[in-house]
Amino acid sequence: MFIFVLIAVLALMHFYVWTRLAKNTTTRGRSRRVATALFLIPTAALFVGLIVPRVLDAQEPAWLAWPAFVWLAVVFYLVLALLVLEPVRLVLRRATKRRMKSGDAPAETAEPGSADVNRRMFLARGGAVAAGVASVALVGTGASIALGPPKLLQVPVRLGRIDPAFNGFRIAVVSDVHLGPMLGRSHTERIVRMINEAEPDLVAIVGDLVDGTVNELGAAVEPLQDLVAREGSFFVTGNHEYFTDDTGEWLNELERLGVAPLRNENTPIRRGGATFALLGVNDVVGERRSEPPDFDQAVAGVADHQAKILLAHQPVLVSEAADRGIDLQLSGHTHGGQMWPFHHIVSAVQPSIAGLSSVGDTQLYVTRGAGFWGPPVRIGAPPDISVLTLHADQ
């Protein structure tokens, strides 16, 4: 159902853009056929890229994914730019109609080459050029941000129940790496290098690491074995880990690489004689595989007075975390909105889209993620790797 709704929406968007950029800027004949053909080539790539891999249950090839998703971003911002210009177009059309009433022929019956047709064509082409320049500039800027190195954010966090022995304890948080047809081994190597240079005590990978199978992406994930952290590296599933049948295989593969999955469970983190509990829960989409997040299981054996830090892919789980006395939840999933104005849509369904906030006595930190999904574009939401430094609030 989702894919059918998506295709319907995309079809409407493309029809609108074709009308404004091809139909309204050309006259019937060869020029319009050429403009339409040029428009249909990337459009076909997009729709083939969306449909064929799902029908064949296979990963989309990189040579198809790149032009398809870049075009999707361009079309999206073309729609926004054209909608912004729509009031201007309507005002100019009304002004033209008023001039027509002074004695000229109606626009609808004007002959090709007439002053009115030439004037309308000029305005349509001017609007198309303005929208095209704006959308290409935005997508180009957003692509350079998405494909560039993530920002390394330093975030101090004060926790009331953490033992002072953990003052200065550093947790590197990374999420939404989205290895797949557009991001591969070199992307992982850069992330590992940045994390190791930050010298964290613990690494938390909070879901959406891969978009594919172990067979397809095993080599791309392999650099994770080079992560260096005194207390180890840990992983919880995101929703994308459940989009293939390889969830269990991925968890085994990560464990082989030295990244410990936390599947509704906890592990003690010690410094001297002090301890805090590191917990991890499955993503909410795991319920489709009878693997839902289970907070009762995750907190089992942890004393009420003990500090608790939770890894949970989706920020929306923070309400349950607050009910269980979690001190700090580390999440991703939102991409910080990834492409403006999706920030507003994401914030309507998640309690936070980026940064540090609180729900009751539970603090929530949301990373914007180190990769991207869909269009290789980030606007208003640069990728990040966050290093949280813990301090006792005493």
**pLDDT per residue over 366-382, tens digit each?**
999 999 999 999 999 99
Lowest-confidence pick of 100-109, 146-155, 250-259, 350-359: 100-109
Q: The dihedral of CA 228, 233, 237, 242: what is its sign?
A: positive
The predicted pLDDT at position 272 comes to 87
The predicted pLDDT at position 394 comes to 66
The predicted pLDDT at position 155 comes to 97
Q: What is the mean pLDDT of the chain?
A: 91
Residue 102 has pLDDT above 70, yes or no: no
**Residue closest to 321 by CA, chosen among 285, 281, 287:** 281
The predicted pLDDT at position 27 comes to 86
pLDDT tens for each residue of 320-336:
999 999 999 999 999 99
pLDDT average, residue stretch 337-353 = 94
CB of 207 within 8 A of CB of 241? yes
**Residue closest to 279 by CA, chosen among 298, 307, 251:** 298
CB of 357 within 8 A of CB of 308? no
The predicted pLDDT at position 107 comes to 45
Residue 203 has pLDDT above 80, yes or no: yes
Residue 104 has pLDDT above 60, yes or no: no
Q: What is the 3-state secondary structure (H, E, C) of the chain?
A: CHHHHHHHHHHHHHHHHHHHHHHCCCCCCHHHHHHHHHHHHHHHHHHHHHHHHHHHCCCCCHHHHHHHHHHHHHHHHHHHHHHHHHHHHHHHHHHHHHHHCCCCCCHHHCCCCCHHHHHHHHHHHHHHHHHHHHHHHHHHHHHHHHHCCCEEEEEEEEECCCCHHHCCCEEEEECCCCECCCCCHHHHHHHHHHHHHHCCCEEEECCCCECCCHHHHHHHHHHHHHCCCCCCEEECCCHHHHCCCCHHHHHHHHHHCCEEECCCEEEEEEECCEEEEEEECCCHHHHHHCCCCCHHHHHCCCCCCCCEEEECCCHHHHHHHHHCCCCEEEECCCHHHCECCHHHHHHHHCCCCCEEEEECCEEEEECCCCCCCCCCCCECCCCEEEEEEEEECC
Highest mean pLDDT among 4-13, 26-35, 188-197: 188-197
pLDDT tier at 108 (50, 70, 90 boundaries)? very low
pLDDT average, residue stretch 299-303 = 93
pLDDT tier at 162 (50, 70, 90 boundaries)? very high
CB of 150 within 8 A of CB of 191? yes
CB of 214 within 8 A of CB of 250? yes
The predicted pLDDT at position 393 comes to 83
CA angle 223, 228, 229 (to 5 degrees): 135
The predicted pLDDT at position 323 comes to 94
CA angle 341, 24, 38 (to 5 degrees): 75
CB of 223 within 8 A of CB of 188? yes
pLDDT tens for each residue of 54-67:
766 667 788 889 99
Residue 168 has pLDDT above 70, yes or no: yes
pLDDT tier at 161 (50, 70, 90 boundaries)? very high
The predicted pLDDT at position 116 comes to 60
Global pTM reads: 0.90
pLDDT tier at 114 (50, 70, 90 boundaries)? low
CB of 153 within 8 A of CB of 385? yes
pLDDT average, residue stretch 285-310 = 94
